[in-house]
Amino acid sequence: MPVLRVHTEDGEREILFTPGNSLRDILAAGCIQVRSGCGGVGSCGLCLVRIEAGAVNDRTEQELSRLRPEELRAGVRFACQVKPLEDIRVTILHPPPHSLWRPLSRDDLARFHPPLEARRATGKKTPFGVAVDLGTTHIRLTLWDMGNGVRLAGRSGLNPQASSGSDVMTRLTAACASPERAREIAMQAREAIGEALSDIANKEGCCPAKIGRIVIVGNSAMLTLLAERNYELLLKPAYWTSVIDCRPEETSSWCASWGLKPALEVELVQPLAGFVGSDLLACVLATRLIHGPAGALLIDFGTNSEIALWDGKTIRVTSAAGGPAFEGCGVSCGMPAEPGAVFRVEQHPHPPGFSCEVIGGGEALGICGSGLVDIIAILRKAGKLNSAGRVVRGAGNDSEVFMAGREELILKKRDIDAFQRAKAAIGAGTKCLMEMAGIGMEDLRRVCVCGAFGRFLNVPNAQAIGLLPGIAADKVELCGNSALAGCEFLLFSMESGNSLEEVRNKTQIVNLAQAPEFEELFVENLYLRPLRLGM
C-alpha cells in the first residue's frame, strides 16, 4: 500500500492508504485533523495543505477559483480535493488545536442520504441539525446542513461516565446513591456532548447559533441517566419489560451550557422497554429490517448489546450484557476501533507468524474487538486454544498468549475469558429468540452486524468461534454504526413518530432473565465453537 508522510507538530507521521480516497479522509482515518467547514466539498477553503512530493490528481474547479496565484505556485491544495496516486508527503497549513474528540471519517459512518423532500421540509426552519448516539463507552455525533443534506462533520469520544463504571448496572447503582451523584453523572454526559459541539464549531467553522434540532438515541440506561429520570427503575426486574419514560423535564439549561439557543428542539428518542433502548430502534430503521425478508437477525454489538429477530410479522428484541470487550476495553492490550488499533490479523505458515493490519496505518498501539476475534480464531485453528478457551499444554504459557512478532501486544487468559462471556451472552440471546420464533439456522436469510465493532469483522473467523450464526457469508451484512445512521434518519424525518410507531407496534420484548433456558444456553455458548441450535 502507498504511504502518506505528513509533517505535524509532533514530527513526521506515516499513514498507509488505499488510492481513491481524498487526502482529508486519509488524514481523518489516521486521527490527524484539518480544518473544514463544508463536509469535504471544497467550498470553505479551510483544509489547506502543501504537497511536498508525490503524484496527485489535478487541481479541481473549486481550488482554481478559491486559491490565490501564489498559493497555486507554492503547491497549496485543499485536502478534501486531493486524491493521492502514490507515496506522498504533505504539510498541513494552519492545523487545528489538539482535541480529545476524534473526527469521524466517511469509513466510520454508515451510508445515509436524506431524501430531497426531507431536506426541503427541515431545511426551511432548521439550518443545522445534530444526531447523537449516546453509547455506554463512546459518544458519537454528526452535524448536518439540513437544507442541502450534507454531513458537515462528525466526532467520536469516550463517554466520561466510565469513571462511574464500565457497565450500565454499575453506573445505575452509582446514580441511585444520591441525587447529587445522579446529577454529576448526568452532567458528565451533557458536558461531553457540549465539548464535541464546541470542537466542531472551533475547527470546522460552523456557527452553533444555526443549530435548530438535536436528536439523541442511546440504550435505556444512558438515556435515563442523561435525563435524570427513572434510572432507578432499571435496577428493578419488574420493570425490565416495561416502558421507561426518560423524557427530561427541560432542556433549555442544556442548550445554554452548550452555547445554543434555549428554545432549541432537543429530542431524546424514547427506549422500547427495559434495557432495549432507542439505539436498537435506530438500527432497525437504518437497516430497514422489517421491510426485508423473514428470518432477519440484527445484532448491535457493544457494552450493552441488543438483538432483534424479524419473523415477517413480529420483531423479537432483547438486550445482553456483552461487557466492554467488543469495544476493546477491559482487555490487556485492547483499545477502541480507532487509529493505531490492530483490526485484522492473519497467520502465515511460510514463514510462520502473524501479519496485522492497523487502522490508519503506522505503529500498532493495541487491539480492537475485531482483531481480538481474529487472534482467538487463529489460536483455536492452530490448536493452541481448546474449545473451552484454555491454552493447550505445551502450546504456550498458561496465563498469557503472545502474538508472534508483536511481543508488546500480549493477550492474557483473562482477556479470552472476558471475550467468552461477552460472546456467550450474545449467543444465548440469539438462540432464545430463534427458538421462540421457531426459526432454525437454515431459515436465516439475513444477519445485520451493527456497531463499530462489526465494521472490520472477519465473518468466517467470527462464525468459527460461535460469535455469529454459520450461514453463507454473503448473507451477513457489516452495517457499521447503524444507531447513528438511524438517528440521522430521525433527524430529517418529519414523520419520525410514524416510523417509530410502526416498529414499536411490531415489537415483542424478551427478558432473558425470565427465559428458563438462558442460563443453560449461556454456559453452552462459552465454548469457542460454531453456533448451533439445540444442546
The answer to whether the beta carbons of residues 469 and 447 sit under 8 Å apart is yes
Give residue limits of the domains in the chain.
3-92, 102-278
DSSP H helices, 292-410, are: 369-381
**Which of 314, 320, 315 shows the shortest CA–CA distance to 300?**
320
The answer to whether the beta carbons of residues 359 and 379 sit under 8 Å apart is no
Of 95-109, 170-184, 513-527, the one with minimum mean pLDDT is 95-109
Other CB atoms within 10 Å distance of the CB of residue 394 = 6
Kindly tell me the number of DSSP H helices and DSSP E strands found in the chain: 15, 22
pLDDT for 348: 76
Identity of the amino acid at 323? G
Q: What is the mean pLDDT of residues 294-319?
A: 92
pLDDT for 147: 85
pTM of the model: 0.78
| The CATH fold of domain 102-278 | Nucleotidyltransferase; domain 5 (3.30.420)
**Which of 300, 39, 267 shows the shortest CA–CA distance to 132?**
267
Give pLDDT tens digits for 11-44: 788 888 888 989 988 887 777 878 765 667 787 7
Phi, then psi, of 9 in degrees rounded to 5? -65, -25
pLDDT for 362: 74
In order of 141, 493, 494, the CA distances from 497 in angstroms are: 21, 9, 8
pLDDT for 407: 43
Beta bridge partners of 131: 142, 215
pLDDT for 535: 42
Of 187-201, 340-354, 440-454, the one with minimum mean pLDDT is 340-354
The answer to whether the beta carbons of residues 284 and 308 sit under 8 Å apart is yes
d(CA 246, CA 248): 6
Q: What integer best gives the mean pLDDT of the chain?
A: 86
pLDDT for 87: 94
Cell 410479522 locates to 313
**Which of 305, 267, 309, 317 shows the shortest CA–CA distance to 290?**
309
Give pLDDT tens digits for 155-201: 998 898 987 877 888 899 999 999 999 999 999 999 999 999 999 98
Q: What is the mean pLDDT of residues 270-289?
A: 93
pLDDT for 98: 63
pLDDT for 10: 67
pLDDT for 313: 95
Of 174-183, 275-284, 374-383, 496-505, the one with minimum mean pLDDT is 496-505
Give pLDDT tens digits for 400-432: 665 544 446 777 788 888 889 989 999 999 999
At residue 452 the predicted structure's pLDDT band, cuts being 50, 70 and 90, is confident
Beta bridge partners of 267: 215
Phi, then psi, of 142 in degrees rounded to 5? -135, 150
d(CA 512, CA 432): 8
| The CATH fold of domain 3-92 | Ubiquitin-like (UB roll) (3.10.20)
The answer to whether the beta carbons of residues 167 and 324 sit under 8 Å apart is yes
Q: What is the mean pLDDT of residues 246-272?
A: 93
Q: Flag whether pLDDT at 242 surpasses 70.
A: yes
Give pLDDT tens digits for 132-155: 999 988 899 999 998 888 898 999
C-alpha cell at 320: 445482553
